Amino acid sequence: MCAFVWSCCVTCSAGRDVASVSFRGDCTNFGMKIVSAYFDDGAFLIVTTGARFEYAAGEMEIYPQRYEAGYELKRIELGKRDWVAEYLLNANERVMIAAFPGREFDWEKSFKSQIVIVQAVLGRGPYNPDGQTLPDYVFQEWSKFIDIVIIWHHIYEGAHWTAPYVIDNEPELRRVMKICKEVGIKVGVYTSLFSHYRKYQSVAPFYEQIEALHDEYGIDGVYIDGLRFDVKKEQSDDKITNWEMIRRLRQLFGANGVIIFHDTHGGTPVSTVPNIDTYCDATLCGENVAFKSFDDPYIKYQVRKYGISNTIAIMAPGTQIREISKKDLIDAMLKMNGRHFWWGEGPRTFQPPPNFWKTKPGPEFQYYMTQLEKLEKSYRDRKKALHRK
């Protein structure tokens, strides 16, 4: 396992170097070894075997591997220029450091990353023995307002969605990939390192099976329904492995690939890990998390990604008071530079395919698209005005 060691109290402020941080250890899961870590010209650099990472000077987030009792917060003074956070850790405990935002917010991509999640596809069942899924004309119509399709339930052999990731109906997936590439839609498939690891007790098969799907079918990316995060002590929580896994998946799919990460984390507002989120195109948070207003810490620090990891933030179906309507939720997400997604049509193996397929979204997503168009126009008008200056 990887052991990152915090040498002493850490002090940081804008425009000043931090000289009291040291690292040692390696990550045996991937053979990654830390060669050196140092400051140079205002940036914090970590050099490993096979990669070099740069963290621009700015804010730093410091927290222990878990959030339960077992460590001592000796001193914390935030909200000022010379802030201090001092932890006392036990033997073999680790601290991860995240500098954020790790990159600029990609406005252009945010306007071209409209997502539909297909609830069921490719699966064979008593009412759908051939695993029939959406016809070509549906994808053709969707391409007018959708950029990314996530294939959800009933993909893999012998299970609805769990590992191993062996495609149940290869001809149908190949047809979907073909038509989507023709009309310019990217295709991602459902995965979950959380459930995959509980079955295999190893992270290597997860990456290997995704790599095989990429090489064999040309998938553009993945939806990850949880990494090795958990709020229960008896289950695995390994942020170093998560960090390495998400980086390897980004390398596999490239800059134009799709990684959508569901990281609700049980509604814990302090679980934000921007140096992991930033490798994703979008993050989905808030599934069944109760909140009463958009000032809730969970919304401000976990759902919102603008200025933190600068990924595209999406709110999952959740539990909120009735006074918060879908319209209010969409408006709030757009205000924090987040986006919305659409639960699309899809056959289920225990139901016959529909006679008529929905090619247009309902009023909720239509409202979102109208508001997004206004936001994009405002953005482009401001950009033109700044250019003229």
The pLDDT, as a whole number, for residue 249 is: 96
d(CA 312, CA 257): 14
Which candidate, 204, 165, 205, places its Cα nearest to that of 188?
Answer: 165
| Burial (Cβ within 10 Å: 0-12, 13-18, ≥19) of residue 281 | buried
Could you tell me where the DSSP H helices lie in 35-151?
107-111, 136-142
CA distance 244 to 348: 35
**pLDDT, tens digit (0-9, with 9 covering 90-100), for 96-126:** 666 677 788 999 999 999 999 886 555 555 5
Looking up tokens 């948070």, which residue turns up?
Answer: 285
Give the relative orientation of helices 204-217 and 239-253 as an angle to the nearest 10 degrees.
Answer: 10
Whether the Cβ atoms of residue 258 and residue 148 lie closer than 8 Å to each other: yes
pLDDT at 300: 84
DSSP H stretches of helix in 239-343: 239-253, 274-277, 297-298, 326-335
The predicted pLDDT at position 96 comes to 63
In terms of Cβ atoms closer than 10 Å to its own Cβ (0-12, 13-18, 19+), residue 30 is buried
| One-letter identity of residue 178 | K
**pLDDT value of position 33:** 55
What SS3 class is residue 212? helix
Strand pairing report for 32-40 and 26-27: antiparallel
The C-alpha atoms of residue 293 and residue 267 are separated, in whole angstroms, by 14
Domains of the chain with CATH codes: 10-100 (no CATH), 107-382 (3.20.20.70)
The whole-number pLDDT of residue 246 equals 93
Beta strand segments in the chain, E: 10-12, 26-27, 32-40, 43-48, 51-56, 59-64, 72-77, 83-88, 95-100, 115-120, 148-153, 186-191, 221-224, 258-262, 282-285, 290-291, 312-315, 319-320, 341-344
Q: Which residue, chain included where needed, has tokens 């508001």?
A: 371
- Enter the pTM of the model: 0.77
Q: Which residues of the chain have pLDDT under 50?
A: 1-30, 32, 41-44, 50-69, 231, 234
- pLDDT at res. 70: 56
What would the pLDDT profile of 47-60 be if each residue is shown by its tens digit? Answer: 555 433 333 333 34
Angstrom distances, CA of residue 248 to CA of 208, 238, 255, 259: 11, 16, 12, 11
